[in-house]
């Protein structure tokens, strides 16, 4: 199969939620809440198939982004989705990464984020 | 990769001209698709005339001039949206009729397919209904021809089910059903939120079936 030809984002729909819940569960991202007013949710699709989501939320005046993809997804898909998402958001953006999560850290750096503190990344 | 079917398998993604091979080409393909999605939304919201190339760039986070790296102009964006949509519809109808064991199943599947498309791509459908005249004559001719072939799938299926009826009436019924299916998802949409697709789907399918065969 290789890399998908096209990665797209769309505003998350009610009908996407079952699939997204399953994916975030597989990814070990814990229980989900439904999209609220303080969150932007985008469904990530690779060649038309739902593969995960990107979200943004406000925390103490800063905007944080997060990517949820199943462990089987390639880092490149995460990079492509995050890049599309970040381009539509005001800077600076922030992201948190668990200490052992080297793949996510690599993905963020690939998108131009830099490490500002332990587990904390920023894109200006 | 999760092997998860989406709510719609023929959703309009704006197929890039060729399969991208490098990271750079993939990034370009992603950007092109993002421009098309944003353009469909903006054209649906404000009308084709009310959207500038600058607006398209802003919507995906690039400058107006950067949009020209993907499309020679605004009319090329509209052309890609409408050609992509009519091609997806025709491909879907081709597939449905090949796979259906009989005319009644084919009609059910055509209706379900069209409802899927109208729900998933309400923006594109709205643009198709309103902005076809904005296309350059050559592209408009191509889009019209794809649309005619799509309608022919419906008319041929209806003719098998109702051989007693004149073709003109069947064609009229097909267009009336499209009107029902195309306008409702968009008009039933409240700002920022889509209607609960599951509920809308059943009602639309039932109404379309009745309107075609009553």
Q: Where are the domains of chain B?
A: 20-71, 74-213
Compute the distance between CA of residue B185 and CA of residue B181 in angstroms, rounded to an integer.
Answer: 7
User: Is A23 in the B-facing interface, judged by CB distances under 8 Å?
Assistant: yes
* Residue A64 near residue A57 (C-beta atoms within 8 A): yes
Q: State percent of chain B over pLDDT 70.
A: 86
* Chain B residues whose beta carbon lies within 8 Å of the beta carbon of residue A14: 194, 196-198
CA distance B172 to chain A (A): 33
Q: Do B7 and A51 touch (CB under 8 A)?
A: no
User: What tokens appear for B179 in the block?
Assistant: 């009107």
Alpha-carbon distance values, B130 to B46, B66, B140 (Å): 11, 27, 13
Give the bridge partners for A65, in sequence order.
Answer: A56
Inform me whether the pLDDT recorded for B126 exceeds 50: yes
Nearest 5 degrees, angle CA B187-CA B39-CA B23? 135
* Chain B residues whose beta carbon lies within 8 Å of the beta carbon of residue A52: 2
Give the bridge partners for A107, in sequence order.
Answer: none
> Using CB atoms, which residue from A1, A5, A9 is nearest to B1?
A1
pLDDT given at position B191? 45
- Report residue A38's pLDDT band, with 50, 70 and 90 as the boundaries: low
Say which residue, B14 or A89, is predicted with more confidence.
Answer: A89
What's the rounded mean pLDDT across residues A53-79? 88
| Domain at A7-123, CATH from 3.20.20.10, 3.40.630.30, 3.40.250.10, 3.90.1310.10 | 3.40.630.30
List, for residues B134-167, the tens digit of each pLDDT value: 999 999 999 999 999 999 999 999 999 999 999 9
Q: Which CATH superfamily is domain B74-213 in?
A: Tetracycline Repressor, domain 2 (1.10.357.10)
- Report residue B198's pLDDT band, with 50, 70 and 90 as the boundaries: confident
User: Is A5 in the B-facing interface, judged by CB distances under 8 Å?
Assistant: yes
Complex confidence, ipTM:
0.80
Would you tell me how many other CB atoms lie within 10 Å of the CB of residue B28? 16
* Chain A residues whose beta carbon lies within 8 Å of the beta carbon of residue B194: 11, 13-14
Give the bridge partners for A122, in sequence order.
Answer: A94, A114
> Using CB atoms, which residue from B1, B30, B61 is nearest to A88?
B61
* Chain A residues whose beta carbon lies within 8 Å of the beta carbon of residue B196: 14
Say which residue, B3 or B160, is predicted with more confidence.
Answer: B160
Domain B20-71 has CATH 1.10.10.60: yes
Inform me whether the pLDDT recorded for B2 exceeds 50: no
Give me chain B's average pLDDT, please: 87
* Residue B49 near residue B37 (C-beta atoms within 8 A): no
Would you tell me how many other CB atoms lie within 10 Å of the CB of residue A89? 15
Domain boundaries, chain A: 7-123
């Amino acid at each position: 199969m290789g890399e998908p030809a096209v990665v797209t984002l769309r505003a998350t729909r009610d009908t996407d939620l079952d699939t997204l819940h399953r994916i975030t569960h597989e990814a070990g991202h814990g229980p989900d809440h439904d999209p609220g007013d303080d969150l932007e949710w985008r469904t990530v699709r690779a060649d038309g198939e739902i593969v995960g989501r990107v979200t943004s939320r406000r925390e103490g005046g800063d905007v944080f982004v997060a990517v949820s993809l199943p462990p089987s997804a390639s880092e490149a898909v995460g990079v492509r989705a995050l890049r599309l998402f970040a381009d539509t958001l005001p800077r600076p953006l922030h992201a948190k990464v668990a200490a052992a999560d080297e793949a996510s850290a690599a993905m963020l750096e690939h998108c131009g984020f830099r490490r500002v503190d332990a587990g904390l990344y920023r894109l200006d | 990769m999760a092997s998860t079917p989406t709510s719609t398998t023929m959703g309009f993604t704006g197929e890039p001209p060729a399969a991208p091979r490098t990271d750079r080409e993939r990034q370009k393909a992603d950007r092109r698709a993002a421009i098309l999605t944003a353009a469909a939304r903006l054209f649906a919201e404000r009308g084709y005339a009310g959207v500038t190339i600058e607006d398209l760039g802003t919507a995906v986070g690039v400058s107006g001039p950067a949009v020209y790296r993907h499309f020679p102009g605004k009319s090329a964006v509209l052309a890609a949206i409408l050609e992509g949509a009519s091609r997806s519809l025709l491909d879907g109808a081709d597939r449905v009729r090949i796979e259906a064991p009989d005319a009644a199943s084919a009609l059910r599947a055509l209706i379900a397919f069209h409802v899927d498309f109208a729900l998933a791509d309400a923006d594109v459908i709205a643009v198709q209904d309103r902005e076809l005249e904005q296309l350059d004559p050559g592209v408009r001719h191509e889009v019209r021809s794809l649309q005619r072939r799509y309608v022919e799938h419906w008319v041929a299926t209806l003719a098998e089910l109702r051989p007693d009826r004149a073709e003109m009436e069947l064609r009229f019924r097909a267009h009336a059903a499209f009107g029902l299916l195309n306008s409702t998802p968009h008009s039933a949409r409240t700002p920022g939120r889509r209607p609960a697709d599951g509920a809308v789907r059943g009602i639309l399918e039932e109404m379309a079936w009745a309107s075609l065969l009553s």
